[in-house]
Amino acid sequence: MNKTILILGACGQIGTELTLALREKYGNDSIVATDIRQPEHSELLKGPFEVVDAGNASALRTVCEKHNIHTVYHLVAMLSATGEKFPMKAWDLNMQSLLHTLELAKEGVIKKLFWPSSIAVFGPTTPKRNTPQQTIMEPSTVYGISKLAGERWCEYYHAKYGVDVRSIRYPGLISWKSQPGGGTTDYAVEIYYKALEEGKYTSFLSAQRTLPMMYMDDAIRATIELTEAPKEQVKIRNSYNLAGISFDPLTIEASIQKKIPAFECDFTPDFREEIAASWPESIDDSAAQDHWGWSMEYDLDGMTEAMLTNLKTKLGLQ
Ligand code: AKB
């Protein structure tokens, strides 16, 4: 592959791992990592890295033209919990950066765009179990509203201007290389750190609050597979449902206890409980399976094994 790829938000939870995965696949020089700040993860400096504010249209255009960018992975967003604290900032960041990138695609400056949506596009009136690809969508968070609006813009730019935009509604993402920040599903990452470091964890969601989640390796694979799928297989241009693994805090506690029997969890729900309660418990991703052959690899115990093993090494607890 000799097409240059740009990652917006390369220092974030998904951006870090996607940059590393794409550099592994295509070589360091083909992947331009960008973020609003310098990276903490020194691995990101092994290839080109630029500080870019994705909210600044002309800075975005300049970096795309400078590197003759073909594909942009747009991973800049303020997530659900932080978005509720700063609604206008979340709206501005989440919408402006997407619209600037869609405009560059419309003008042909870039040829392809991946943009992530989220299970947050669904709301309290959405069917909770096996949530269909097309259903009632009345999100009750600013983040969810911005993701739903973003989905509509993606479909609009595809229909009106032929923009090749592709998207996934990510479930909560669980990873060890980089930490999430500001999300409602973050408890399912924190719990692994606390299990290893302290042997106990206080969940900010209630014991039986089930949500769809996914191990980062599966999410990265899905992202690259969809972005690289032949055009004719991508029949949905707003965003694809991905099911992931549905579990509640009690069930992830039990999975961790199979490896750390003394681990204990208690539950002190905070404002994030209400956000989680508005989201689906499980998702139907048959369209992704049928259209571009999606298939998930990690189940809950497989993910627990991978998280605990990798975090032990990362935290020097071997
Ligand atoms: C969040 O919790 O806000 C995100 C998401 C589900 O998109 N992880």
Domain assignment present for 76: yes
Residue 142 counted as domain residue: yes
Q: Is residue 195 part of a domain?
A: yes
Query: Which structural domain range is residue 197 located in?
Result: 173-213+245-280+298-314
At 144, is the secondary structure helix, strand, or coil?
Answer: helix
Q: Is the CB of 205 under 6 A from ligand 1?
A: no
Q: Are residues 11 and 120 in the same domain?
A: yes
Regarding whether 47 and 13 lie in a shared domain, the answer is yes
Give how many domains the chain has, as a whole number.
2
Here the CATH number for the domain that contains residue 222 is: 3.40.50.720
Give the distance, in angstroms, between the CA of residue 35 and the centroid of all CA atoms in the same chain: 16
Helix (H, G, I), strand (E, B) or coil at 303: helix
State how far the Cα of 71 lies from the Cα of 229, in Å rounded to an integer: 13
Query: Is any ligand 1 atom within 6 A of the Cβ of residue 102?
Result: no
- Looking at residue 293, what is its pLDDT? 98
Region 280-293: mean pLDDT is: 98
pLDDT tens digit sequence for 295-316: 999 999 999 999 999 999 999 9
Same domain, 230 and 310: no
222 & 199 share domain:
no
pLDDT for 2 beyond 90: no
pLDDT at 41: 85
Instruction: Quickly state the pLDDT bin for 1 (edges 50, 70, 90).
Output: low
CATH number of residue 186's parent domain = 3.90.25
For residue 273, the 8-state DSSP code is H
For residue 208, give the nearest of 254, 259, 241, 171 by alpha carbon.
Answer: 254
From the CA of 79, give the closest atom in ligand 1. 3
Q: What is the pLDDT of residues 127-140, one digit of tens each?
A: 999 999 999 999 99
Compute the C-alpha angle 60/79/63, nearest 5°.
10
Calculate how far, in angstroms, residue 171's C-alpha sits from the geometric centre of ligand 1: 7
Residue 289 belongs to a domain:
no
Kind of pairing between the strands at 69-74 and 49-51: unpaired
Q: What percent of the chain has pLDDT over 70?
A: 99
- What are the C-alpha distances in Å from 48 to residues 33, 144, 235, 279? 6, 32, 33, 38
Residue 29 lies in a domain: yes
The pTM of the full predicted model, rounded to 2 decimals, is 0.97
Give every strand in the sheet of 245-247, ordered side by side: 172-174, 211-215, 245-247
Per-residue model confidence (pLDDT) at position 3: 81
The reply to whether 235 and 106 lie within a common domain is yes
55 and 181 in a single domain? The answer is: no
Kindly report, residue by residue over 218-228, the tens digit of the pLDDT: 999 999 999 99
Say yes or no to pLDDT of 318 above 80: no
Residue 120 Cα, ligand 1 centroid: separation in angstroms? 7
* Residue 154 covered by a domain: yes
Longest dimension (CA), the chain: 58
| Residue 291, in any domain of the structure | no
Instruction: Tell me which H or E stretch contains 118.
Output: strand 117-118
CA 65 – ligand 1 centroid, Å: 32
**Whole-angstrom distance, CA of residue 100 vs CA of residue 114:** 13
Task: Compute the mean pLDDT over every residue in the chain, rounded to the nearest whole number.
Answer: 97
pLDDT band at 148 (very low <50, low <70, confident <90, very high): very high
The answer to whether residue 292 is domain-embedded is no
The CB of 172 under 6 Å from ligand 1? The reply is yes
| Co-location of 37 and 12 in the same domain | yes
Residue whose CB lies within 8 A of the most ligand 1 atoms, among 186, 205, 213, 278, for a mutation test = 186
